[in-house]
Amino acid sequence: MALSEKDVRYVAALAHLELTEEEVKKFLPQLDAVLEHMQKLNQLDTSQVEPMAQVIYPAAGTPTLRPDEPRQTLSQQESLANAPEPGAGCFKVPRVIERE
Amino acid sequence: MDLTTLSIDAIHAGLLARQFSAEELVRATLERIERENKAIRAYLTLSPERALAQALEIDRKVRAQEPLPPLAGVPVAVKDVLSTKGVRTTCASRILERYIPPYDATAVERLEAAGASILGKTNCDEFAMGSSTENSGFFPTHNPRDLTRVPGGSSGGSAAAVAANLAAAALGSDTGGSIRQPAALTGVVGMMGTYGRVSRYGLVAFASSLDHVGPFGRTVSDVARVLGVIAGRDARDSTSADVPVPDYLVALEADVRGLKVGVPDEYFNGLSPEIGDNIQKGLDLMARLGMKVEPIRMLHTDYAIACYYIICTAEASSNLARYDGVRYGFRESGADDLREMYKKTRDHGFGAEVKRRIMLGTYVLSSGYYDAYYRKAQKVRALITRDFLEAFDKVDILVTPTSPVPAFKLGERMDDPLQMYLADIYTVTASLAGVPGISVPCGVTRSSPHLPVGMQILAKHFDEARLLRVAHAFEKAGGFQVS
């Protein structure tokens, strides 16, 4: 197995996921099996291939950008309507600055 | 007359002839949902007021003898990953359980502008991640053809609704097969247009370079009608293509004789006879219709699953970073600081499959692994696309199975994610290349319980008209019931 429990916890922290012990134990072999399958791509020589980030097709025109003009968008009230904790026209969150 | 089984064409004719009203049609469908959805569980949320208000407006148009729009009175279901203004949109996730969008997705807006009645929002795998609809954060959907089996996924609710006549047509989303595979497993028609053919504005993003919006229907012509309405450039989605939308209904009737059908060897190696025999019969029928069926090679097919799952998880890990407990309704309480709030909210709000994919995506993008996984996958994606472009220099369309297996039992495959991923092999290739695909019924398995088999037809970029033409000819010749 190439992946360790430590790796799983490290990746979870990067992804802002708080995994339980059971989850770490369950995910480890599952993620390891998928990552091992992904190694299959190394069988291919891609040294002369350009990476493809988006679908390209022969008929593709230039990407279209709209004119940079101000427009009406969602109101503050609409934007905040789904907030778990709105207040004073803002999204309220717990303390951000960490104490030493 | 059973109003819930009508084609869109028959609905249009019936409304014009005043055989029934749009209100009667919507009420009949809602009553059927009331009776039958308990066993199938296709819907997460119903929007009867919205559906009926639209129906009354259509009935007013009929009385006033105003021209009827193309989908007048058609009761449709919408996968719960498409935003509906004022109607809860959950992506089948606990993290969006209380989220009510302030705007409509373009595809939804265009359906309603064309006269369709939105009946409600359908179940799916959480954030469209899965192939069985068992990853819904709420409950699984059951296949109407056999209630002990899955309807496929991720758009399993939309497929099941159409298969069980709980909607005349439906919208789904397809990232790696999420329309085509459930269409195959429930015995209906499902289509993904070219990447960029249909606007994704208002589609909750899973993997942005792969996500598509597309229709389900019981016939090819129903799917053509819905696609014609939702397709086309949308200024609110910069990835929507500025390519004219042809009249797909006219295209349906064109001749198929002489068309070249490529059958890629790689899609049939190791395929079980219960699927392969039906596809072969479908190909024999195409030959009898005057099409030229010939073998072709698609050399990089075997690498598609690895390539797809690197790219889609990478994009998902980025897209799903926004669910942090700040903006979309759900926040887990009890956190002392911001980082803890993110973690608690995400850990309680996401299900196992979503977490697995976020983890995989975070891993393949992380420092030291980016080139080995993500960049490598982008290069292999170019090779898979090249296979398609070269194939379409030789043939007009490609025919493959949609899924290597028919509908499987609920719970049967939940513990082995890799095995579940590998079953997407026939659908992810077209997603990576961005070419359009349709799945049409192709008989049922020979052994009991005789489950639907799906045939996938693929065409080159923006050649949806040809795809629909072949599928329609196949349907008219009895291909849906090959035996």
Give me the domains of chain B, ranges plus CATH numbers.
3-249 (3.90.1300.10)
| CB neighbour list of residue B156: distance below 8 Å, 6 or more residues apart | B42, B123, B124, B125, B132, B133, B141, B150, B182, B186
- Establish if B268 touches chain A: CB-CB under 8 angstroms: no
Band (pLDDT 50/70/90 cuts) for residue A67 is confident
pLDDT of residue A60: 55
Question: pLDDT digits over B404-413, tens only?
Answer: 999 999 999 8
| Residue B92 CB-density burial (10 A; 0-12 exposed, 13-18 middle, 19+ buried) | buried
- Establish if B338 touches chain A: CB-CB under 8 angstroms: yes
Which position has the token pair 């195409």? B286
Which of A53-67, B113-127, B404-418 shows the lowest mean pLDDT across its residues?
Answer: A53-67
B 95-124 → A contacts, CB under 8 A: 98-100, 102-103
CB B126 within 8 A of CB B93: yes
| Separation of first and last alpha carbons in chain A | 38
Q: Chain-wide mean pLDDT for chain B?
A: 97
Is pLDDT of A63 > 80? no
pLDDT of residue B414: 84
Question: Which candidate in A4, A5, A7, A18 is best for mutational testing of the B interface (most B CBs within 10 A)?
Answer: A18
Mean pLDDT over residues B226-253, rounded?
94
Q: Give, for B296, the enclosing helix (H) or strand (E).
A: strand B292-296
Distances (CA, A) of B146 to B408, B448, B463: 10, 11, 35
| Catalytic residue (one of B79, B158, B403, B439) | B79
Mean pLDDT over residues A65-73, rounded?
85
Q: Could A93 and B338 be called an inter-chain contact, meaning their C-beta atoms sit closer than 8 Å? A: yes
Is pLDDT of A75 > 80? yes
Band (pLDDT 50/70/90 cuts) for residue A62 is low
pLDDT of residue A54: 87
Is pLDDT of B483 > 90? no
Mean pLDDT over residues B251-276, rounded?
96
pLDDT of residue A68: 87
Q: B171: which strand partners? A: B78, B215
Where do the DSSP E strands lie in chain A? 86-87, 90-91
Is pLDDT of B262 > 80? yes
Catalytic, B79? Answer yes
Length of chain B counted residue by residue: 483
Catalytic, B154? Answer yes
Judging contacts by C-beta atoms under 8 Å, the chain A residues touching residue B303 are 40-41, 43-44
Band (pLDDT 50/70/90 cuts) for residue A58 is low
Which of A50-59, B25-34, B472-481 shows the lowest mean pLDDT across its residues?
Answer: A50-59
| Pairing outcome for strands B397-401 and B260-264 | parallel
Mean pLDDT over residues B163-191, rounded?
98
Mean pLDDT over residues B208-228, rounded?
98
CATH topology of domain A1-41: Histone, subunit A (1.10.20)
Predicted complex ipTM? 0.94
Q: What angle do CA B173, B25, B179 make, to 5 degrees?
A: 15
Q: Hey, where are the domains in chain A?
A: 1-41
Q: Residue B92 half-sphere exposure, CB side, CA atoms within 13 Å?
A: 39
Lookup: tokens for A42 = 């190394």
pLDDT of residue A98: 66
Question: pLDDT digits over B336-388, tens only?
Answer: 899 999 999 999 999 999 999 999 999 999 999 999 999 999 999 999 999 99
CB B106 within 8 A of CB B95: no
Judging contacts by C-beta atoms under 8 Å, the chain B residues touching residue A66 are 235, 238
Mean pLDDT over residues B130-138, rounded?
97
Eight-state DSSP code of residue B203: B
Which position has the token pair 């479908």? B282
| Pairing outcome for strands B212-217 and B169-174 | antiparallel
Mean pLDDT over residues A91-96, rounded?
88
Question: pLDDT digits over A1-53, tens only?
Answer: 789 999 999 999 999 999 999 999 999 999 999 999 999 999 999 999 999 98
- Report the alpha-carbon distance of residue B89 to residue B44 in Å, rounded: 9
Task: Tell me how close the Cα of A1 comes to any Cα of chain B, in angstroms.
Answer: 15
Is pLDDT of A66 > 90? no
Q: Which residue would you say has higher pLDDT here, A58 or B53?
A: B53
Q: Could B417 and A85 be called an inter-chain contact, meaning their C-beta atoms sit closer than 8 Å? A: no
Largest CA distance in chain A: 58
Kindly report the backbone phi and psi dihedral angles of residue B444, in degrees, each rounded to the nearest multiple of 5, phi listed first. Answer: -125, 160
pTM of this structure? 0.97
Judging contacts by C-beta atoms under 8 Å, the chain A residues touching residue B325 are 84, 93
Length of chain A counted residue by residue: 100
- Which strands make up the sheet holding B260-264, listed edge to edge? B43-46, B117-122, B75-79, B169-174, B212-217, B189-192, B437-444, B452-459, B397-401, B260-264, B292-296
Q: Give, for A40, the enclosing helix (H) or strand (E).
A: none
Is pLDDT of A97 > 80? no
Is pLDDT of A65 > 80? no
pLDDT of residue A59: 56
Is pLDDT of B168 > 90? yes
Percent of chain B with pLDDT over 70: 100
Q: How many CB atoms lie within 10 A of CB B262?
A: 21
pLDDT of residue A2: 84
Is pLDDT of B130 > 60? yes
Band (pLDDT 50/70/90 cuts) for residue B463 is very high
pLDDT of residue B444: 98
